[in-house]
A and B are shown apart, each in its own frame.
Chain A
Amino acid sequence: QSVLTQPPSVSGAPGQRVTISCTGSSSNIGAGSDVHWYQQLPGTAPKAVIYGNTNRPSGVPDRFSGSKSGTSASLVITGLQAEDEADYHCQSYDRSLSGWVFGGGTKLTVL
């Protein structure tokens, strides 16, 4: 049972836009903790695509964007490409647990 809740899967056709949600609580996202997002291709280590709610690391396409509101955050991918097919994980700091927590991960399928 993950502290942050993500949908198990989402899908979209090439060129479309998809949104992956991450729902937390007043102990983490709702408390103002930053949200970070990671992309994990099969058999590889995760890679940051969004940090600090809305910031893209160098080299990440601007098709990836992040937002946060209340106790939730979202990762939006526009102009979907086959190479975006991966698992996506959200992360935030939980004040009750005094540590960082993750969502269960969302599998993105490009149709």
Chain B
Amino acid sequence: QVHLVQPGAEVRTPGASVKVSCKASGYTFSDYYIHWVRQAPGEGLEWLGWINPNSAVTNYAQKFQGRVTMTRDTSIGTAYVELSRLRSDDTAIYYCARDPSQIWQLVSGSFDYWGQGTLITVSS
């Protein structure tokens, strides 16, 4: 069965960076796109971007360009998102999610499996 496992929580100060991991199992990691989505406390969902784990090609939401970096390590089946110049309004749960489209298809933008989320708290 497919699993996406994320760490529970991290705390950072304003201006710092954070890198969140997402370890995949139960399928061929390189064959499916991975997206990152966040949810601020009491708010809706917000899409950050996707990565093609096979080619490392990325596509970021306009809002986060210049501040977000998505990478992967295929040897351990893990995707990462790094957000820099953190602000208090970056406090949120960050989820990784798998796209059901395989990498030789167009990204569908729907998400069939989700990680449990990583709470990132930005506070001085």
A residues adjacent to B (C-beta < 8 A): 2, 34, 36, 38, 44-48, 51-52, 57, 89, 91, 93, 97-105
Decide if B32 is an interface residue (CB 8 Å cutoff).
no
Report 13 cross-chain contacts, Cβ distance below 8 Å, ordered by A residue. A34-B109, A36-B109, A36-B110, A46-B114, A51-B108, A51-B110, A57-B112, A91-B109, A98-B62, A99-B62, A100-B47, A103-B44, A105-B44
Q: Which bucket holds chain B's interface residue count?
A: 20 to 34
Give the distance in Å from the alpha carbon of A46 to the alpha carbon of B111 in the complex: 9
B residues adjacent to A (C-beta < 8 A): 35, 43-47, 49, 59, 61-62, 95, 100, 108-112, 114-117
Most buried by A among B46, B62, B109, B116: B109
A47 with B114: CB separation less than 8 A: yes
**Interface secondary structure of A, over-half rule:** strand
A99 with B47: CB separation less than 8 A: yes
Give the distance in Å from the alpha carbon of A102 to the alpha carbon of B111 in the complex: 13
* Chain A positions within 8 Å of B43 at CB level: 104-105
Which one of A45, A52, A97 contacts B114 once the chains associate, using CB atoms below 8 Å? Answer: A45
Closest B residue to A51 using CB positions: B110
A97 with B111: CB separation less than 8 A: no
Given contact pairs A36-B110, A97-B62, A45 touches B95 in the complex (Cβ within 8 A)? yes
* Chain A positions within 8 Å of B49 at CB level: 99
Given contact pairs A45-B95, A45-B117, A101 touches B47 in the complex (Cβ within 8 A)? yes
Give the distance in Å from the alpha carbon of A48 to the alpha carbon of B35 in the complex: 14
Give the distance in Å from the alpha carbon of A52 to the alpha carbon of B116 in the complex: 23
Most buried by B among A51, A93, A99: A99
